[in-house]
Structure 1
């Protein structure tokens, strides 16, 4: 879920008018000072060899060749023992669940497979691209300039020092690191942190002479999708170094909020995309109501309608 955690591990409730005003004032002061705040998010953790032996053969007759096959020779010193079994696989670490097979049942969360779709999802970093430095999730979207990514608006308030790494896995950046240069948010979010507009489009600078969409492609932005669409949900938990994925049918939380029930989406997964399995379009991001939800097992998104479409047109 969303996912900036409080120090006690619980997520903030939906902001009241007073807290929204205070939050807006704090953001304004921070921006005026040329600073930015990245909310590092909390996370929950789930919490015999055998060797073939050679058997000596009976001596052959002096003048007649032995009729039985020759025994297997003893292993050559220094040669690998091809008959030795490897040690059992210890299995996944607690923070990295097993990779999701293509037919993962609905509502089951597992490590995302490394495929074309998952490579368009990545982690946002503050400072060096290294384990423990990522704080939110984003994904590449299709655009005329081929240089845009999508995340939750509550993830960051300024671009300086933020990089995006698509397909990030175990400390590696297989498709490069892309510097965030600009943030586009909707009017309602800028005015008072409206959770119904908790989405942001980020522009990233070229890397190695290429735009990010040239490197990994981009998902189309989907608007006005059915409330009961089936979606794949992606995210990078703050305490893990691999992306997770869960597929389930979404539903309507209220007038402008979509929800999905997927277990074990903790802090760090904010901004992760809802990818419509029928169209491949992104129809939401983890955010919105209670910044994505107040438990790890249900995630929310602000509804994608003309507001997010207008934002994409403005970002170009």
Structure 2
């Protein structure tokens, strides 16, 4: 019986697949689009002369990033026609993702939503530099710019993101503690408890994609968010339950009505209060919250 032999191109691709998927997903916020990018990466990779490749990981990431940049333009047209706010597709993640503090922070729905405000090139540079710690030479080769230009783009993107993220880093433990208080108040219908944990200027963003009822604009302010959430629970009817889980490497909730998944709720926490609530109800975006998705930063 002969041993199974894997060719070098396949071996390298498989070895780095989780990283490549994570790069594509971080760029696009869509699993289907990230998988399409990986397929396009593979088709280009098998035509490469490996004897000319100095760093296979960097080369594969370069192909993936370029394909993701191309797809971002198509995805933007879909977002422009989207019904209501667009949120990234949530992923159920393994504990090792949460253990990688930088990766989990950058994969949070709140941070990924901030990345939506960058230009495609700025997003690519930010992701490669801040999330995956690529050097400016490799980044420059990916975006066809000089290293100094890549450095300037990285600085501009980082300044833009830093102005919009929480001022002080929030640990997963702090987020989980706030989430526990939020979930407890939600489960018992304790409106004052919910008000206590919500920041006065909290923002609630819901994504139904035109397939499920959702607010067509962000709801701003603790009182308005509370009224909207209470109304949504009443309209849902049935038995409403919430289950703590790890979404994109961060604490979140899977909400069910009569045992059926209604949506996934992610939180942004700052100064021990909820400053952002991101509720994904679009059923097309809930296909990866019952089994873990493998992600990697290296």
The TM-score normalised by the length of structure 2 is: 0.28
Whichever structure has more helix as a proportion of its residues is 2
Whichever structure has more strand as a proportion of its residues is 1
The TM-score normalised by the length of structure 1 is: 0.27
Q: Which has the larger radius of gyration?
A: 1
